[in-house]
Amino acid sequence: MVEFLQLTLSGIVFGLVYAAIALSLVLIWRGTRLLNFAQGGMAMFTTYVAIEVIYRTHSYWAGFAVALAAGLVLGAACELTVVRPTLNKPPLNSVIVTIGLLTVLEGLAGILYGGQYRSFPTAFSITGLRVGGTALGVSRSDVFVAAAVLVATLVLAVTFRYTSAGLRMRAAAFNATIARLSGIRVARVLTVGWALAGLLGALAGVLVTPSTFLYPNSMDIIFIYGFTAAVLGGLDSAVGAVVGGLVLGVALSYAGGYVGGSVGADLTSLVALGILVTVLMIRPDGLFAGSRMRRV
Amino acid sequence: MTMRTLPRRLGLAVIVAAIVAVLSIKLNAFRDYQIAEIAMYVTAVAGLSVLTGLSGQISLGHGGFMAVGAYTTALLLLHLNWPFYAALLVAAAVTAAAGAVVGVAAARLRGPYLAGATLLFGVAITAVAVAFPGTFGGDQGLNVVFTTPSFVGANFPLTRWQAWVSALVALVVLVLLANLHYSRIGRNWRAVRDDDVAAALDGINVAAARIRAFVVSATCAGIAGALLAIVTGLVAPGAFTITLSIALLTAAVIGGLGTLPGALWGSLLIVLLPVYITDVATSHGLSSTVGANIPIVAYGVVLILVMLVFPQGIQGALRWVINAFFGTEQKSRTWRAAPATHVTPSADETPASQHEKEGTS
C-alpha cells in the first residue's frame, strides 16, 4: 500500500512534467496545426541558459526566470523566422522544418556548452517527505515541480477563458479567416502562441532536468512522452493534455515500480505504447477529442 | 503506361548497377562502405516515401521495422548459419507481418495520432531488445559475421562485396516499387490519399489499401535492416534510435515525397552531407567539440533551407529545372508533383463546426 502511494505520487510529478510539454504542443497545434518537434530541443536549450545564469549568479531563481524568458523569446523567434514561411506549403514541410530546428539547437548546444552530462540544481530539498512514519516517496522539490506546472496551467486556463487576449487566441485557433475579418491580427496571435509554448517547454525543462542530467539530447525522451500525452488526450484539448500526462506518468511509474528490476525500466516505452494504442483504437482522436466533422 | 516501361526500368537499373560497380572498383574501401550505406537508406526511404507520399500515411517508426529486419537477419545468420539471401527473405517476411499488425492499427488513425503511435512503436521495439538480453544481446547487440563468397576470389575486398550486394538488393526493391507505383494498387493508394471518402465510393477498400501500403513499406524497411546487419556487422539497439526513424522521414521529404528518385537524393544527402561537412570542419582545424557539432548544425540548416526553397523537395526542384529547359514533356505525370495534402492533418483536421473551406488556410 505504501509502495502504491509512493509510485502514484512520483508518477503524478513526472506526469505533470509530461503534461507541460503536452500543453505546449497543444498550444502550437491549435494555432498552427503543426507538430513542433523542436519543443524538446527548445526546452533543452533554455535549460542550458538557466544553468549558465545559475553558475554566474549563484541564484536558482535568477536562472529559473531567465529560462522562462528565454523560452518566450525562443518560441516567438522560431515562429517568426522559419515556421511562418512554411505554413502555406505542404504540411509535412513544416514538420521537417521543426526537425531541422531541433537539429540546429542540439548542434548549437553541443558547440556552446559541450556534450558532457551536467547536473542541474533543485530549488528545494530532495529529501523524501514523511507523514507520520510513512515515507511518501516525494520530496519538497517534487512538490514544487507539481505546483509550478499546476500554477502555469491555471494561469494559462484563466488567460484563455477570461481575458480579451485569450479570447482572441481562441478565435484565431477556431477559425483564422473569420477571426481576421473581425480585426484580430492572427499572425501576431500565432507568434504569441509559440512564445507561450516556448515558456511552458522551458518550465518543463528546468523542472525535469534535476532528475535526468543535462546534455544536448536530454529532452528527447521527455518530448516523446509529452507528445504521447498530448496524443493520448487529444491534440485539440488542453484538459486532455493534462489528463494524458497524468495517466502516462502514473502508468509508467507503476510499470517501473511493480515489474521490477531492469526489465521494468526498459519496458516503460512498451507500456506507453500499449496504453496509447489501446486508447487510440477506442478513440482515434484521443480521449478528449470533440465530435469532428470531415468535409467530403 | 506503355508496354515498354518495364524494359526501360530494368535498363535504368542495369545502368545504375554498372555505375555502382565501376565506382566501387575505382573508389576506396570507405567509399564502398558509403555506397552500401546509401543503398540501405534508399531501400528504407523509398518504402517510406511510398507509404507517406502515395498512401498518405505518416510513420515515425520505420527505424523499428529496420530493427525487426536486422535482428531477424542477425539471429538467422548467427544461430542457424543460413546464407544471407535466405535470411534476407525471411527478414522481409517477418517485417511484412509486423507491418500488417501495425498497419491494422494505423488504418484507423490519421496525422499526428498516427505519428505518435508509430513513434512509440519505434522506441518500444528497441526496448524489447534491451529487456531480453539473452536472445537479443541487450545493449551490446548481436555481432554478424558476413564474408565474401568463394566464387569471387580470396582477394575480393569485403566492403566492395557489401556494396554490390546492398546496391543489387536496393535496385531490385526500387524496380518492384516502381512497378507498384503504376499498378492498380498504386492508383488505389493515390486515390485513398487524395480523398478517402471518394475512394471508398469508387469501391476501393480504403482500410485494405492502407494496410497494404504499410506492409509494403515495412517490408522495404525490413530489407534495409537486413542490409544494415551485414554492412555494419553489428545489430544493437543504438542503431535504431528515434533519430534513425526521423532521418528516414526527413530523407523522403527532402528528396521529394512519393518519388523514387527523390528517395535516392534524400539518402545521398543524409549520408554524404554530414561526412562532407565534418571533413571541411576538420581541415579548417576546428576544435573537436566544435568540429563534431558543426555538421549537426549545418544539417539542420540544410533541412530548413531545402524545405523553404524547394517545397516539393529536391526531385520537385529537378523536375522544375527540366521543365524549364526542355519544355513540358513531364506533364502526363503531374500526379507525382501533387502535394500529399492528407499526410499531416493540417488540411483535414479543421475545428468541428467549421463548414467552409476558406477557413483552413
Subunit contact B345:A95, Cβ cutoff 8 A: no
- Read off the C-alpha cell for B227: 542490409
pTM confidence score: 0.83
Would you state the pLDDT for residue A75? Answer: 93
CA–CA–CA angle B96, B34, B139 (5° rounding): 60
HSE of A248, CA atoms in CB hemisphere, 13 A: 38
**Looking at beta carbons, which residues of chain B come within 8 Å of A35?**
112, 115, 344
Instruction: Cell numbers for B174, please give them.
Output: 526500387
Enumerate the domain spans of chain A.
2-219
- Express each pLDDT in A246-262 by its tens digit: 999 998 888 887 776 55
Q: Tell me how far apart the alpha carbons of residues B73 and B67 are, in angstroms, rounded to a whole number.
A: 10
Beta-strand (E) ranges in B82-230? 142-143
List b or e across A166-199, with b for residues whose CB sees 16 or more CB atoms inside 10 angstroms. Answer: eebbebbbbbbeebbeeebebeebbbbbbbbbbb
Q: Is the pLDDT of residue B264 over 50?
A: yes
The residues in B 250-289 lying below 8 A from A, measured between CB atoms, are 250, 253-254, 257, 289
Instruction: Identify the pLDDT of residue A290.
Output: 66
Which residues of B are less than 8 Å from A268 in CB distance? 127
Q: Which residues of A touch B248 (CB under 8 A)?
A: none
pLDDT digits (tens, 9 = 90+) for B28-58: 778 888 888 899 999 999 999 999 888 888 8
Q: Any idea what the Cα angle at residue A103 is, between residues A99 and A105, rounded to 5°?
A: 115
Q: What is the pLDDT of residues B202-258, one digit of tens each?
A: 888 888 888 999 999 999 999 999 999 989 888 888 888 888 888 898 888 888 888
The contacts of residue A224 (CB under 8 Å, 6+ apart) are A269, B119, B120, B123, B242
Q: Does A235 touch chain B (CB under 8 A)?
A: yes
Q: What is the tally of structural domains in chain B?
A: 1
In a domain, B328, yes or no: yes
* Binding-face residues of A in 82-111 toward B, CB within 8 A: 82, 85-86, 88-97, 99-108, 110-111
Rounded distance between C-alpha atoms, residue B31 and residue B27, angstroms: 6
Single-letter amino acid, residue A105 = L
User: If you average pLDDT over residues B325-338, what whole number do you get?
Assistant: 54
Report whether pLDDT(B331) > 70.
no
Cα separation, B178 vs A120, in Å, equals: 52
pLDDT of residue B357: 38
Q: Which of A21, A92, A223, A292 to mutate to test the interface with B (most CBs of B within 10 A)?
A: A92
pLDDT number for residue A294 = 55
DSSP states along A182-242:
TT--HHHHHHHHHHHHHHHHHHHHHHHGGGT-B-TTTTHHHHHHHHHHHHHH-TT-HHHHH
A272 vs B: CB within 8 A? yes
Taking the alpha carbons of B19, B20, B21, B26 in that order, is the dihedral positive or negative? positive
CA distance A240 to A272: 16
CATH code of B257's domain: 1.10.3470
Cell 518504402 sits on residue? B47
Low-confidence ranges of chain A (pLDDT < 70): 260-266, 290-296
Give this complex's ipTM: 0.84
List pLDDT tens digits, range B113-170.
888 889 889 888 888 888 877 788 777 888 888 877 778 777 778 888 888 888 889 9
Closest CA–CA distance from residue A10 to any residue of chain B (Å): 22
Residue B350 lies in a domain: no
Domain extent, residue B293, equals: 5-345
Distances (CA, A) of A36 to A203, A223, A235, B212: 16, 10, 12, 29
Q: Is B120 on the interface with A (CB under 8 A)?
A: yes
Residue B59 lies in a domain: yes
- Residue B319: pLDDT band (50, 70, 90) is confident
Q: In chain B, what is the straight-line distance between the N-terminal and C-terminal CA atoms, in Å?
A: 36
> Looking at the complex, does the CB of residue B97 fall below 8 Å from at least one CB of chain A?
no
